[in-house]
Amino acid sequence: MTSTRDPARPFGRTLCAMITPFTEAGTLDLDGARALAARLVAEGCDGLVLNGTTGESPTTTDREKTELVAAVREAVGDEATLVAGVGSADTRHTVELALAAQKAGADGVLVVTPYYSRPPQEAVEAHFRQVADASGVPVMLYDIPGRTGTRIEPDTMIRLAEHPRIVAVKDCSYDFLGTQKVLGRTELAYYTGCDEHVLALYAIGAAGCVSTVGNAVPGHFAAILDAFDAGDTARARELQLRVTPLIEAMMAAGLPGTVTAKALLARLGLPAGPVRAPLMAAGRETADGLLALYEELTAA
C-alpha cells in the first residue's frame, strides 16, 4: 500500500497514535478498536500508529499486538496506512514483532530507541539496521530521549537514512536544530510526535504528525495542515493556537497521554476502557476538565 503513496509522505500526512481499547475487565476490545479506527479515519486520519506507547505497548502481549493490527486492518481496509509499534529493549524481540506486524497487515513499523540500557550510538545504529534488514516493510524511527534515555543523534540519523527501508522519523526529540540538520541532509520523512509542534515542524518541511490528542479531535490536526498547504498560514496558526489548551491538559499536566486520552474518549462515549497497571485512571476532576476543553474547542 505504501508504494502507491507520495514518497515524501510514506505513511500519509495526519496520523493518530491510537489508544488500545480494553473491556471493563481489562481484556483487549477488538470491536472497540475497529470502531475507533474507523472513526479516526472517517474524521481525518490517513494513517494510524498502533501498539505505540499511547497504545500501552509496554503492557500488551505479543499476541494482543498482532490481533490489534489484524482487526484494525480489517476495519479500515485500504483507507489508511497502519504503522505498528514494534520497539523493545531487545533487538531480537523487536525483529520478531516487526515480522509479526507485517504478517498481520501493517504497512510499516515504528521502532523506538532501545530503552533503559542506554546503548552508545554505534549500538543504536546497529539495532535499527538489524530491524530494517529483517523487515519487509518501511521503518519509522522513533526518537524520544525523554522516555528512552538515549537520543538518536543527528549524525546517526543521517547515516541511517542511507538504508532503503528506513524512510521516516517520529520526532519527540525537542531539538529543532538537530531536526533541521537531518531535514536538510536527508530525505527522511519527519512526523512530529509532539502535538504542540505540529505546525512549527510542518512549516520547515515535515511530512505530517503522529498525534495523541488526535484520538479525540483528529479532524482538527488535518485542518491545520490543510490550511498551511492552502497558503492560509494565518488560519493554520489560529487553529494550532486554539488546540493548545487541550494539548496542554492532555500532554503536559502530569499524566501520560494514554491516561488523558482514554478519560476523554470515555466521556465522549467512544471505545477506550481502563488503562493497565502500573498506569491509573484519571480522576473525575481531570476528566471533567478535559471534556470542558474539548467542548470549547469543538464549539468554536
Beta strands in the chain (DSSP E): 14-17, 47-50, 81-85, 108-112, 139-143, 166-171, 189-192, 208-211
What SS3 state is found at 208?
Answer: strand
CA distance 139 to 155: 18
* Residue 50 C-beta-side C-alpha neighbours within 13 Å: 36
Per annotation, catalytic residue among 103, 115, 116, 142:
142
Nearest alpha carbon to residue 103 among 79, 141, 142, 136: 136
Nearest alpha carbon to residue 127 among 144, 136, 115, 138: 115
Residues 6+ apart with CB under 8 A from 281: 259, 262, 263, 274, 275
The answer to whether 103 is a known catalytic residue is no
DSSP code, position 288: H
Residue 94 known to bind ligand: no
Per annotation, catalytic residue among 65, 170, 202, 294:
170
What SS3 state is found at 125?
Answer: helix
Nearest alpha carbon to residue 113 among 163, 63, 171: 171
The answer to whether 65 is a known catalytic residue is no
Residues 6+ apart with CB under 8 A from 224: 198, 199, 202, 236, 239, 240, 243
Residue 20 known to bind ligand: no
Q: What value, to the nearest 5°, has the Cα angle with vertex 111 and ends 106 and 116?
A: 145
Residues that are catalytic: 142, 170
Q: Binding site, residues?
A: 54, 210
Q: Binding site for pyruvate, residues?
A: 54, 210
